[in-house]
Amino acid sequence: MPYYAGKLASFSFAGTVFAMDSWTLDENVEEVEVTNFTTVDPAYPLNGAVRAVVPGVPGGTFTASGPYTGSAPLKGTYGTAIFGVGQGNAASRTVLITGVKISTQVKDKATVEISGSVTIIPG
């Protein structure tokens, strides 16, 4: 099993590479409960109904942060984000940018934090 160093990571949005120093991709799927009177655990058929779930709507969130270089994606825009981990190992997702935060301190670099949702482009 290969291991990856954070120094090989990358982040791009809508074809533009941003000089981020960290990113997080948190994907999930909603669970839909379908428990009914006939859902019985085969190992314990006399115990009655057990909780049953099926996969629902997938989604997720992401954040990326790094030095502010004078440009950042606009909030409210859709695009493809590529979350690179190492050489040839990347996750491509359609995302909606929901937040852009730019901050700075006197004795530190200016930073930008981008956040959003994993989605599909409606239409």
Is 62 contained in some domain? yes
- Look at residues 95, 35, 7, 111 and name the one whose alpha carbon lies nearest to residue 59: 95
In our burial notation (b when 16+ CB lie closer than 10 A, e otherwise), range 56-71 reads: eeeeeebbbbbebeee
Q: Where are the beta strands (DSSP E) in 8-71?
A: 10-13, 16-18, 22-33, 53-67
User: Helix (H) and strand (E) counts for the chain?
Assistant: 0, 7
Domain count along the chain: 1
3-state secondary structure (DSSP) of residue 46: helix
Is 74 contained in some domain? yes
- What pLDDT score does 120 carry? 78
* pLDDT tens-place string over residues 36-71: 877 777 776 666 677 888 999 999 999 999 999 999
- Residue numbers of the domain that contains 67: 6-29+58-118
Is 45 contained in some domain? no
CATH number, domain of 73, equals 2.40.30
Is 65 contained in some domain? yes
Is 103 contained in some domain? yes
Is 20 contained in some domain? yes
* pLDDT tens-place string over residues 69-122: 999 999 999 999 999 987 778 889 999 999 999 999 999 999 999 999 998 776
3-state secondary structure (DSSP) of residue 34: coil
